[in-house]
């Protein structure tokens, strides 16, 4: 009986070793056949992840399926705290699967955070979700456009919007974190100290300055500027259907920044106010028109028309008549033939606010 048990254990051990060897062999074949899919993956894998990936070998797929079924059950039952550890296991099983990183980060930032009573506790969980994607997910998948896009959405929606009761806590924390790294107008500072602080937050000062050179004076104390930063990075790697989604992830915070892209409040007094950022308007119009040329759909064109008309109205209202006139001229260039041309005065009185996006 002991000999038979020993034989079965030996066979099982041999199968595990064989599965591990076969898994590494398949990985090399895939890497050779699809180099662009594996280019840029970090080799800095923690020992526990390396052990799980090598030890389970071909059984990783089975273990992953079991965990996903369990995760779905916990999600349906609303047991979000239990999902945290389970999602960590999922990322260890395959650190190059973007779905696992997104699932885990969304759970932390959206599901677990709202279970907290204090705003400070909510902030901690939102930060955990953002840092999971930024510090870990992108470390293993630096060319995954979806992860950049999801991270951009966290900044635009969770931090920048006002859907969460604790949104002001998120906003002030971001603004206070960025204050030592920016100039008085919110643009990135050029000092070595600022660069070091930004690097600790996984931000590249040179890239930030490059975005300012392309779009205008971004105020990095605001969440939309960070959404634009991460979405722009993802756009560099986006292909196929992901490219349109990545361009949308860029122009959404860019448009919002035109209307509310300058911080005019007082951090010391905890007063939150924003104002329009006219310096971004023309560059935003250029990017929108560029998107419409690359994706000439009726919906995209309608969004461009709506933006140009509303931006012209806002700029004229805020005393930037010349800029409003230039936006109006671009509006006439992109209007569909079936839409009657509105007069300048009509647009400046709010024609774009009534324009229906098809």
Predicted confidence at residue 19, as pLDDT, reads: 59
**Does pTM surpass 0.85?**
no
Report the share of the chain in percent with pLDDT over 90.
64
pLDDT digit string (tens) for 50-88?
Answer: 545 555 555 555 555 666 667 677 667 777 777 777 777
pLDDT digit string (tens) for 78-117?
Answer: 777 777 777 777 777 778 888 889 988 998 899 889 888 9
What is the rounded CA–CA span in Å between residue 116 and residue 5? 51
Quote the DSSP letter at residue 261: -
Q: What is the mean pLDDT of the chain?
A: 86
What is the per-residue DSSP string for 71-128?
A: HHHHHHHT-HHHHHHHHHHHHHH-TT-HHHHHHHHHIIIIIIGGG-SSHHHHHHHHHH
Angle at 276 between CA 294 and CA 331, to 5 degrees: 40
What is the rounded CA–CA span in Å between residue 315 and residue 23? 59
Q: Half-sphere exposure of residue 104, counting CA atoms within 13 Å on the CB side?
A: 26
What is the rounded CA–CA span in Å between residue 105 and residue 157? 14
Asked if pLDDT for residue 143 goes beyond 50, the answer is yes
Q: Which residues pair with 182 in a beta bridge?
A: 188
What is the rounded CA–CA span in Å between residue 132 and residue 150? 12
pLDDT digit string (tens) for 20-36?
Answer: 555 555 555 545 544 44
pLDDT digit string (tens) for 245-279?
Answer: 999 999 999 999 999 999 999 999 999 999 999 99
């Amino acid at each position: 009986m002991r000999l038979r048990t020993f034989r079965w254990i030996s066979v099982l051990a041999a199968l595990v070793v064989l599965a591990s060897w076969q898994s590494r062999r398949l990985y090399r074949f895939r890497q050779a056949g699809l180099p662009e899919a594996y280019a840029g993956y970090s080799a800095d894998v923690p020992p526990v992840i390396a052990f799980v990936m090598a030890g389970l070998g071909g059984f990783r797929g089975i273990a992953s399926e079991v965990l996903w079924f369990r995760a779905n059950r916990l999600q349906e039952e609303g047991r979000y705290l239990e999902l945290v550890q389970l999602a960590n296991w999922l990322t260890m099983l395959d650190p190059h699967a973007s779905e696992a990183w997104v699932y885990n980060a969304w759970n932390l930032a959206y599901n677990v955070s709202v279970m907290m009573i204090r705003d400070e506790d909510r902030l901690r969980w939102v930060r955990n979700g953002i840092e999971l994607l930024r510090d870990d997910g992108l470390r293993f998948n630096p060319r995954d456009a979806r992860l950049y896009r999801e991270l951009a959405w966290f900044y635009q929606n969770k931090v920048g919007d006002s859907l969460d009761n604790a949104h002001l806590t998120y906003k002030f924390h971001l603004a206070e974190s960025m204050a030592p790294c920016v100039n008085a107008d919110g643009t990135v500072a050029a000092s070595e100290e600022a660069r070091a602080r930004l690097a600790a937050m996984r931000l590249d000062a040179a890239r930030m300055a490059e975005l300012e050179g392309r779009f205008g004076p971004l105020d990095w104390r605001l969440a939309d500027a960070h959404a634009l930063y991460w979405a722009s990075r993802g756009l560099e790697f986006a292909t196929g259907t992901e490219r349109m989604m990545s361009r949308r992830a860029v122009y959404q915070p860019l448009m919002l920044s035109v209307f509310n892209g300058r911080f005019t409040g007082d951090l010391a007094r905890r007063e939150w106010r924003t104002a329009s950022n006219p310096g971004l308007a023309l560059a935003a119009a250029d990017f929108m028109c560029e998107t419409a040329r690359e994706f000439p759909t009726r919906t995209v064109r309608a969004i461009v028309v709506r933006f140009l008309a509303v931006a012209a109205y806002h700029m004229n209202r805020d005393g930037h008549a010349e800029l409003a006139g230039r936006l109006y001229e671009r509006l006439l260039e992109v209007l569909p033939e079936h839409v009657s041309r509105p007069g300048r005065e009509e647009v400046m009185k709010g024609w774009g606010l009534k324009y229906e996006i098809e």
